[in-house]
Structure 1
């Protein structure tokens, strides 16, 4: 049976329009570009209440799919010309698939003097943005918008610093003939490239010729870390922590009422560590702090309205009941426990203690282990959280308030909010959503992170089960989430003009004699401070 919030009109409208694609969220739309889609004859259904220029809904999924495939193939074609032995194109990064390959190590040449200066400028620019972002204390709507702009700029500058290091990579032309490249679209809708991937059967020959290949030995997998999220979030980190604190409290209450399920949750956390010969290669994300770390103080810290929550009221009541029967001294605790009924008292106490360790507080909306428990207990957050001015609307821009009321109630109900002051609009929204059962996305999402398990006794079978993601575009083009909830600042890359001073382009530490070999320029352009600054100017004027 669906929860009450799933029957609300705005959720029904979401289901009806699921075949359409939100242009502001889809990484495929960002990759192709809304202008290119419209130029190809595609229609965009515009949202009358949206302020963003690129807001709207793409209605022709088949056209978008063709444009994505064409642009991805065009990018792949330019990579093929670099001499790699093979190349694969995917619509998204599949970590399990990429981890099934070894990695050919590139040679890192020293930076030239010009590159050193540019890198220092990039780092200084990033650090300056970080200081400004940390100094922004929020408050009114303008401060919130400035914080969003600074966050986008900081993410772009950080990415530029990371990308700049690639300019010093050099590849052996003979070795790359037996290695390959993956080209894919990342979560932000940008082209991403993984170079130097080595198939298992090619590793021995490469190493026999002096190549360094990591991974694929004794069950070792090539290490590829998850990228640092840099997308523009729908909610600020502070608000996300506030909301997920309420979600955590609600799940704690529900789990404490289900001793059998709490036992399963606890065992799920303990078994991989106890039976490490079987699960020792599991990359497991979990939310049970068996260290043990009670999360009650964290809930109060992240949500200053937690004490008014129905969930917190139940937690406090249950805690008081247990304190009234537990022994006063630690030395008396074990004898007391041994004297209790294991099928009632101990199991109920285990449920409360296990629930109290749940940590679902997060600064970003995305897949989280606590959602697995939320699904198991059939969590209905409308029982524990209500959208009030203090709880939510004071913490988001007025444009967001207008959008929420228009979708959750009706466009007519939101028509006058734009002309109100922010405080008045927030108060009005609280009244108009009183019976709407509306919840912010972070409280309705139920995605659970994938746990990659590599059994040491079944290494070959694990490699054989890695699937590609060619078909995954069909899912998103029919309205399924792609995991990216926002847009972010694009970093404009361009070729650096060739220097007339040979010493400027000579790697630092390289002898500047007539016999010195000139440095081969990078095979693709890299960011500069000027390009990052240009992007920030464009954001301000947008």
Structure 2
């Protein structure tokens, strides 16, 4: 084997080289360029060549590269970039025969062992110890600075843990979690200081390392304070280099809370000036807090004389267009009327402000104010007075319920509600766990005769005389029905086909996987049907679950003439139109016959995502629906 140098311009790629065609050499270009700029030779290894022969067997003066094709391509790229000249003398080892060259090419590409990633991480860390900056290492090896920082973090993990990583006893995701800190003691405690393997899952390692810190991406307080203000106040942040969203952990929760409360307190003072009886701060306004109060609604602001005159003009135009059956023109007029009312806005009655309160909270990363909360006793008294007044009302519509749904309609709608809850809970294991544990504790710890009233989770599940069976069949092609069918298909593939194999299969599953199966199983246990004899406690249990699931029935159900408007009284239809389109539009429909009114209501509410009170997850509305239903049941019986 002869070692010599040959000008780059006299080197060509051999047909014996295994790498033919386009080959990525960007990593080599960056590395070689950095070496040349540092005054070093671009190559660390010789190329291996055979001398090119012509048809008569004479040397042509060219040499064919059979080992080092990527390096040869990178050198030519450096010539194009004017980093080196084409006359650059390349060190080569000359192979005597084509057979030997072919064997070398095979060995170069197939008989090789890449270093374990751990060795790469450790080498990066050693480079940093020599004084090289992140920027220098990135330029030297043609990497982004983020990649270099990540490898440095992994290279600084405890040697004990790196050894386990080499032995494949620690996975890449687990290493990335351990790389959250450079403290070897903390890393080792997170790994070795637990009893079970499942406690070493990536998310649990992260939780232990950051147990006293606040994850910015999921924390409401962090969202309103922001990193800049927190750092300016002297806070410190732990960065998760491996998070796609640039994960940050605020390491001083007390400081974060103090800064957030200042922001919320300033908004609280603004709202107090509006005259509310009380204003409270609740950074998280969950169901347990909302459950303390009822609510009162704001009312449309009275229109100015000019706006009222324009509305009257538009209503006259709409009536004329309606007589001419020009429905598009009617819609244009109705839309402008609605815009006038929307622009006027809403306001609370001063009498309501005097007895009601407001809450300053955080939603979607913003400080928001929710107004119109009222104590339950006051809300119940108001509702009773309204119902009494409604029952004594005479005139058009007398004899039909003003605010009630029929028993059959309530049952049908609650069937839709149950199907939607089943579809939603199958995708939310954390809520499913709460629902099932709640039901089990009601069964065991609170073992009173009325325990079934407080949970819509049925331990019996589907079976004989199951009241939901008919609804499942009838609603199989709805949004919820299709979603549930898809989940069942997925579970059929994931679970054993034989019952006898289920126990051993579940023992082998991770906790996260078991929660997925729990959510699926619990979806078949949900039963929130409302019958004529449904009590408020039973209704409340379904409402609580729906609210915990953040269930929006508008995603699953749309009001039509067939499924709702033709099945309720005119007052309820007009109430819905008023709520969505406005009082003027409702007044314009009041004289229509029931069938036509139902169809016009469907058209008016198309796309509005309106749902009736039975689908709204306010306890006050839900219980009022039950009370109204009781009145309706009496009327139907009579």
Q: Could you say which structure has the greater relative contact order, defined with CA pairs below 8 angstroms and 6 or more residues apart?
A: 1
- Normalising to structure 2: TM-score of the pair? 0.35
Larger helix fraction of residues: 2
- Normalising to structure 1: TM-score of the pair? 0.41
Larger Cα-atom Rg? 2
